[in-house]
Structure 1
Amino acid sequence: MSLDAKTVAKMARLARVGLSDEQVHTYQKEMQGIIGWVDQLNEVDVTDVPPMIGTGLAQPRLRDDQVTDGNCREKVLSNAPDREGPFYTVPKVVE
């Protein structure tokens, strides 16, 4: 894949990066090098190599959903600044 100076300038404009003509040519060469490395990876034969991990291989660890109240009402209510019976009491906010 070839990357010309016009494309590099357009990418810089879209990224809101101001580049001089000299910088455009510098980044063009650097990006060409990166694209060359990616092209080298595409040449590697991976037909018999299984994937190391992926969404198709990973199984989520599930547990049954059990609804409980925790059986610790008194511990929870002991943290309340004020309570009435088994309920929190809060200041009235609506007149």
Structure 2
Amino acid sequence: MPIYAFECAQCGHSFDRLQKISDPDPTVCPSCGAEAVGRQLTAPSFRLAGGGWYETDFKKDGDKKRNLAEGSTAKPEAAPAPAAKPADAKPAT
């Protein structure tokens, strides 16, 4: 079950509540009793650790794993040459 953060618009009291997604949000502030409670927008509290995501994380053990954070094994395409400047072009200032 997710933890939701709430704040009272009347007194500014902040509190968290562990509830199901289908449960109704609280409407009454536990601090002042006002019916001015609203859900706060919060950032997720998890961290991805490790060497990166692997292309074959969910494949069979015999398949070779390739770290997607290190780039692909395919050769990059050559970049096109920059266009030539006209002879009467002024330098940028």
Is this a same-fold pair by TM over 0.5? Answer: no
More helix by share: 1
TM-score when normalising by structure 2: 0.24
TM-score when normalising by structure 1: 0.23
More strand by share: 2
